[in-house]
Amino acid sequence: MEKVVLRRATTSDKKYVNSLVEMINKVYLKSEGDIWIEGHNRISQERLTEVIQNKELLIAIHQNKICGCIHLEKMDQNHYKFKMLVTNPKFKGKGLGSLLVNFAEQQVKELGASTMQLELLVPTEFEHPDKVFLTNWYTRIGYEKVGEHDVDYVHQGISQFLKTPCKAVVYQKKIIS
């Protein structure tokens, strides 16, 4: 893969909010469209702007275009979680997701935290191919399942937007300094 620049988004990146929101929502619609009610979007322009202002968005840039992102959120002094890992579909299978997760883990390590967490939304009434892939991939890169919760554990009230029952499967990885 050609050179990709990884960095934390800044307020000067707000000009990319519209294109980022479009990319994120398209990727989630393609991978999770059978989970959410019609018309539900993964993120709004207002929320992504807030994530950028809070310095929680890490981005990947290829040929001066944002081609992926990951939301890195502080839980407490020792724990962070990542969510909204998205890559432009033309980079699928080229290692961009791994680069973003590794970059997020490096940021957590530099901040002195010891644990990275993620929550995977998984349907309970059928096997979802993307969720099977992600479960295997997260396990392969060192994440261990530590629990299962009601889907509203991830975000209170989110279950109202689901068209199929789901659970939140929680994974963690110890980050070695």
The pLDDT of 154-161, averaged and rounded, is 90
Confidence of residue 94 (pLDDT cuts 50, 70, 90): confident
Contacts of 20 (CB under 8 A, 6+ apart): 48, 66, 69
Model confidence pLDDT, tens digit, residues 29-88:
999 999 999 999 999 999 999 999 999 999 999 998 899 999 999 999 999 999 999 999
Confidence of residue 176 (pLDDT cuts 50, 70, 90): confident
Model confidence pLDDT, tens digit, residues 111-151:
999 999 999 999 999 999 999 999 999 999 999 999 999 99
The pLDDT of 7-20, averaged and rounded, is 93
Looking up tokens 């432009």 gives 88
Superfamily (CATH) of domain 5-174: Gcn5-related N-acetyltransferase (GNAT) (3.40.630.30)
Map residue 6 onto helix, strand or coil: strand
pLDDT at position 92 = 82
Looking up tokens 């398209």 gives 26
d(CA 114, CA 80): 8
Show me where the domains of the chain are located: 5-174
pLDDT at position 90 = 87
pLDDT at position 128 = 96
State residue 9 phi and psi, 5-degree precision: -70, 145
Asked whether residue 1 carries a pLDDT value surpassing 70, the answer given is no
Asked whether residue 177 carries a pLDDT value surpassing 70, the answer given is no
pLDDT at position 21 = 95
d(CA 113, CA 144): 17
Work out the angle between the directed axes of helices 17-32 and 45-53 (0-180°, nearest 10).
120
